[in-house]
A and B are shown apart, each in its own frame.
Chain A
Amino acid sequence: MKDVYSTGEAARVCKVSQQTIIRCFDAGKLQGFYVPGSRFRRIPRDSLVKFMKENSIPISALDSGKKKVLVVDDEAEIVELLTDVLQRDGRFEVKTASCGYDAGLLTQQFHPDAIVLDFLLPDINGNTVCKTIRSDPTLADIKIIVITGYPDDDRLQGLAELGVHAFMKKPFQIDTLVSKIAELLAV
């Protein structure tokens, strides 16, 4: 659970611009402090919750404190399995997509912390999904975990260059997968 937020994080939680948060911080509407020896503003969790309540901003996003994981696979049973596993763990908020198009859309809206991606999707190659995500700087912090039924495909070479953080073969050990995601998201 996060205790201190940067202005950017606060802006994302409140779904307002960073400038708004800074203005409110400077106007004293949002209590916080400067990082000693710098001009970086920091907002404690309590003052952020008070600010959101005063301004009628829904605090659900802040409240869960869970990491958002997007599961992308064309196999519904796999999606279901992964969703089950991750939700049962309790640390993850899970959204799912069954094709590359949905995956792109949800990445923008949901802004997941991690994507569990089946490498071979019916419409878009996993390669393309990775490249698209990595070409957007605002999505730079998303961790990508690739799973595949093809263990030795030549196209899996160079996944690291595409910004893939982890790679797993199907079938997988579910606890291994979960701990890998947790490790990547530092939870």
Chain B
Amino acid sequence: MTAPRVRQKKMDLLLCDAETLPTLPGVAHRLLPIVMTDPLPARHLQQAIESDAALAARAVLLALRHGHSAKGLTSVDAAFRAVPSETLATDFLSVRIASRESLDRAFFARLWRHNLAVGIASQIIATRLGTVLVEDALLAGILHDIGQLVLAAKLPLAYSQVLELVEAEAVDALEAERRVLGLDHAVLGRRLAQHWGFPESLQNVIWLHHQAEMPIPEGSQAETLARVVHLADLLARQAGFSYHPADAIRENTADVAARLGLSAAHADLISRQIVAGVRLNVGPSGADDTPTPDQMCDLIADANARLGRLYAISAARQHSLESQNRRADLTVQLTARLAECRSTREVLLAAAGVVREAVDARIVVPYVIGSEGEYIEGLAWTAGKSTDEPFFYEIRQERSLESLPAEGWAGPGAAGEVSRAERIEGWLFERMGPRLGDGPFYTVPMTLEGRKTGGFVFALANPAHHPTRTQAGDLASVAGIAATAVKRAQAETDLNALSEDLAEATRELELAQEARLEQRNVTSLGEMAAGASHEINNPLAIISGRAQQLALDEEDPARREMLATIVNQVVRITDILAELNEFARPAKPDLRPADLAALTAEVAAGFRPGADKPAARLRVETPAGCPRVRIDPGQVAEALREIVQNAFEACTDNHTITLSVQPVAGRQAVRLTVADDGPGMDPPTRARALNPFYSSREAGRRRGLGLPKAYRLVQASGGSMALESAPGHGTTVRLTFRAIFEESIPEKLLAEADPSDNRSGRKGDA
């Protein structure tokens, strides 16, 4: 191994674990009571730090650990501002004391004084110069030999040899160190300062304070500081504050001072000031004290006790932080999962998963109580099963479940406590019982605004365990979030249902409006026709009468035939008018209970396949047990005949007309459907299908009164008639009648129909 690499290795060893450097027993003896005092006497603490290299180094290190940047961290003041004094105090509780056995403690005492002296000297010089901050000079001076402190503390035996070499051969410490250890404290100190991240100015001071020539820009602040400390070191040693009695000063102090612009007289003055300063500071610092081992023991025991207490507090804080962190993790996890949930079931499933992870559960049964307390919805999630078991219990009034705490909930668990479930959630065990497996079971309520909205029942994977308080807290958080999410999901579901209802209502409203328009159309056309019939019948009577008269006198058979045609055509007109009139004012219905199925079968039987043209097939589906309806059987049969006739006329032999009767709307109504798979109507035809004057067939063949007439007749019996048709999809006519003996039927199923005809104000009705 080459020398530089060996040196590097050694340095690495020294660098690690060098953070806590020893101080003198007397200093520690003064320091410990200070840091154990409440409230902390910060000024005393700062004074202690400013006179001790080990403590100063530690303070700077802590400031760096607290995130203070190295730049600007050039004074004890700065370090003190960066670190809470309580933190410094706690740290100093574990102060290290220079060991007695390994190295002459006198060396540590001398080194301590030397450091203090150089600090004071630097301060004085800086004050005199005015170009370097006094506080910076103090810290630099205190810390300038930090490398030496490390070497002595870490390698006490080797350093004893160094000191012997210094004494025996009158070499300076750096030389002796290099000879014995292969490196000197200036280099090591610089590396250490680098390693710790000390400000560069400090690094330079520690490295260069022995040299007259410095590899840093001349005239810079850093150079001035290093020269200040260099001079301070020389002056302190001159004043007798050397780290070794055999230390010989080889440099010319006056030259060094001159480099800073100070005269020899200045230097002498400074030297005297150093002596006074050290004397002033040593006393309060306790450096000269020699506490007995018993005193130290007691003090250290006290410090240990305090450390123990502080540790306990911090451990507790740590634990609570950890559980808070875990809870935060849980809630973040749950919130993330819940964000995806759109239904109560999804929320419960997500929450069950989180509960399982939180307490290692064997089974989790989350449930919610309906907002009116009318039902319980939940699911049983079991470890190892791929599917959960949803359940929904309706709560009937006559069978109210014991312990269903839907209202006024303020029971245990609300404060994040886990209760045994068997007692509280009796309803669950009553219903699911053995399927839940063996207990013990626990329950955590979901509460929202003081009301219990649900809960989690669970059993742990290990039945011997009991949920801890922390877990209880976790579960309470989960339950709280789940409760809110459930409410949101319910609201969303309600909203969906509401919008569906709205859409349905709108659709029905549109249909009703359409039906009303259709009816108004039909009625007004019929009214008009009826009114016209009187006016038309008079001239018809004259035409017919005169033609008959002429025919009586007519000798020519051809002319008599023509006159007969006139009379016959008048009869035909009269028939049309009569039909229109009948349409407009259907005869008063004779309402009585009837079996729609039987009526349908009867009407169907009346249709015989026509011999003249191939007819569509007629199929009848009438299940037994339909409720009876109150109708005018004759009129409804006539209506049905019209509808079927219409279907027959639209269809050919490869089509089927299906008549079916079935109960609808929970047996509160009966529907008669006439469906054909014929060509269907195009929209214009469909739109006018109930128009009494409209017929898609050849003019004169039929007057197109079939469907409109059926419509009127069905209405007269209190029913509704709906027509659905599209080209290629056939035509379906649905007649719906209210069933008998049922209390109510949704009005929407029945268009308004007024069978009693109370028209008045007719012509001549005065």
Contact = CB atoms under 8 A, between A and B. Distances in A.
Are A and B genuine complex partners?
A: yes
Interface of A: 75, 77-78, 81-82, 84-85, 88, 120-122, 125, 147, 149-153, 155, 169-175
Given A171-B544, A174-B549, A125 B538 contact: no
Interface stretch (B193-201, B261-269, B410-418, B577-585): B577-585
Contacts of A155: 765
B766 A125 contact: yes
A125 B541 CA distance: 20
Contacts of B763: 120
Given A75-B538, A152-B582, A171-B570, A84 B549 contact: yes
Q: Choose among A77, A84, A121, A122 the residue with the greatest number of B CB atoms under 10 Å from its CB.
A: A77
B764 A152 contact: no
Contact of A170 (B540, B549, B764): B540
Interface of B: 533-546, 548-549, 570-571, 574, 577-578, 581-582, 585, 762-766
A142 B542 CA distance: 26
Contact of B585 (A149, A152, A173): A152
Contacts of B577: 151
Contacts, number: 74
**Minimum-distance CB pairs A-B, first 4:** A149-B537, A171-B541, A170-B541, A171-B544
Nearest to A76: B542
24 contacts: A77-B539, A77-B542, A78-B538, A81-B541, A81-B545, A81-B546, A120-B534, A122-B764, A125-B764, A147-B541, A149-B533, A149-B536, A149-B537, A149-B538, A151-B578, A153-B762, A155-B765, A169-B574, A170-B541, A171-B545, A171-B574, A172-B544, A172-B545, A174-B545
B549 A85 contact: yes
B164 to A, nearest CB: 145
Contacts of B543: 171
A81 B539 CA distance: 11
A170 B537 contact: yes
Given A120-B764, A152-B578, A152-B585, A169 B537 contact: yes
Given A81-B546, A172-B541, 5 more contacts: A88-B549, A170-B537, A171-B574, A173-B548, A175-B548
B538 A121 contact: no
A69 B361 CA distance: 110
A132 to B, nearest CB: 16
Given A170-B540, A171-B541, A121 B546 contact: no
A77 B537 CA distance: 12
Contact of B542 (A81, A125, A151): A81
Q: Choose among A150, A173, A175 the residue with the greatest number of B CB atoms under 10 Å from its CB.
A: A150
Given A81-B542, A125-B766, A150 B570 contact: no
A149 B545 contact: no
Nearest to B540: A171
A150 B542 contact: no
Nearest to B546: A81
A78 B538 CA distance: 7
A71 to B, nearest CB: 12
Contacts of B538: 75, 77-78, 149, 170
Contacts of A173: 544, 548
Contacts of B581: 151-152
Contacts of A122: 764
Nearest to A150: B534
A171 B539 CA distance: 8
Nearest to B571: A171
Contacts of A152: 578, 581-582, 585
B541 A78 contact: yes
A172 B544 CA distance: 7
B552 to A, nearest CB: 8
Contacts of A151: 533, 537, 577-578, 581
A31 B50 CA distance: 177
Contacts of A169: 537, 574
A89 to B, nearest CB: 11
A120 B766 CA distance: 10
Given A81-B542, A151-B581, A152-B578, A171 B764 contact: no
Contacts of A121: 764
Nearest to A82: B545
Contacts of A84: 549
Nearest to A175: B548
A78 B542 contact: yes
Contacts of A153: 762
Q: Choose among B538, B539, B585 the residue with the greatest number of A CB atoms under 10 Å from its CB.
A: B538
Contacts of B545: 78, 81-82, 85, 171-172, 174
Contacts of B766: 125
A150 B541 CA distance: 12
Contact of B533 (A85, A88, A150): A150
B590 to A, nearest CB: 15
Contacts of A171: 537, 540-545, 570-571, 574
A169 B537 CA distance: 9
A84 B539 CA distance: 16
A125 B762 CA distance: 12
Nearest to B553: A88
A121 B764 CA distance: 7
A172 B541 CA distance: 6
Nearest to B543: A171
Contacts of B544: 171-173
Contacts of A75: 538, 542
A171 B537 CA distance: 6
A60 B762 CA distance: 45
Nearest to B535: A149
B709 to A, nearest CB: 14
Contacts of A125: 764-766
Nearest to B548: A174
Contacts of B571: 171
Contacts of A88: 549
Nearest to B573: A171
A82 B668 CA distance: 58
A149 B541 contact: yes
A78 B764 CA distance: 18
A28 to B, nearest CB: 50
A23 B745 CA distance: 82
B634 to A, nearest CB: 16
A153 B533 CA distance: 11
Contacts of A81: 541-542, 545-546, 549
A85 B552 CA distance: 11
Contacts of B764: 120-122, 125
A141 B535 CA distance: 32
B391 to A, nearest CB: 64
A152 B585 CA distance: 9
Contacts of B549: 81, 84-85, 88, 174
A78 B541 CA distance: 7
Nearest to B536: A149
B372 to A, nearest CB: 54
A125 B533 CA distance: 18
A78 B543 CA distance: 10
A106 B103 CA distance: 163
Contacts of B534: 120, 149-150
A81 to B, nearest CB: 4
Contacts of B585: 152
A149 B574 CA distance: 10
Contacts of A82: 545
A120 B549 CA distance: 25
B759 to A, nearest CB: 9
B337 to A, nearest CB: 74
Q: Choose among B533, B540, B541, B582 the residue with the greatest number of A CB atoms under 10 Å from its CB.
A: B541
A149 B536 CA distance: 8
Nearest to B582: A152
Contacts of A147: 541
